[in-house]
Structure 1
């Protein structure tokens, strides 16, 4: 669902933002940043990009079918 490499990159950027004077704790902070990100992102109700794209296509086909049925209904009501 969420690419672990991206989490590592975000955690590294946060860790790199820590001042050098607290460098001894920098590695530990990076691990904690990653853990917090994983926990918080895990709480979100997210779907994969593939699932999102699939559902978008289903919705598009459904809308097209509804439009076709509405057109047929209008024609039948006109008779």
Structure 2
């Protein structure tokens, strides 16, 4: 669902901030940071930019179709005979 590269980069930067005494644990910390970041972002129900753009295009097409249908219905309503008055 997510591009893991930003998580990898961020996890690496976080691991680099660890004091020198803990540098031996850096690989483990990087993996743990990455897993933690992915888990928290997954809970946020975020979508990728690509998914967003696809849905935006679908919505735009749907709006165009709706506008065309509204115009068509209005034209058909104009063609109907007037209802008789009672």
Q: CA deviation at 1:75?
A: 4.2
Residue segments in structure 2 that go unaligned for 5+ positions in a row = 80-86
Equivalent residues, number: 79
Distance, in Å, in 2 between the alignment partners of 1:3 and 1:54 is 17
Residue 53 of structure 1 is matched in structure 2 by 53
Q: CA deviation at 1:7?
A: 1.8
Residue 10 of structure 1 is matched in structure 2 by 10
Q: CA deviation at 1:76?
A: 4.8
Q: CA deviation at 1:4?
A: 2.5
TM-score by length of 2: 0.64
Distance, in Å, in 1 between the alignment partners of 2:50 and 2:35 is 26
Summarize deviations over 1:54-77 as a string: whole Å, max 9, x none. 222211111011122233344455
Residue segments in structure 1 that go unaligned for 5+ positions in a row = none
TM-score by length of 1: 0.68
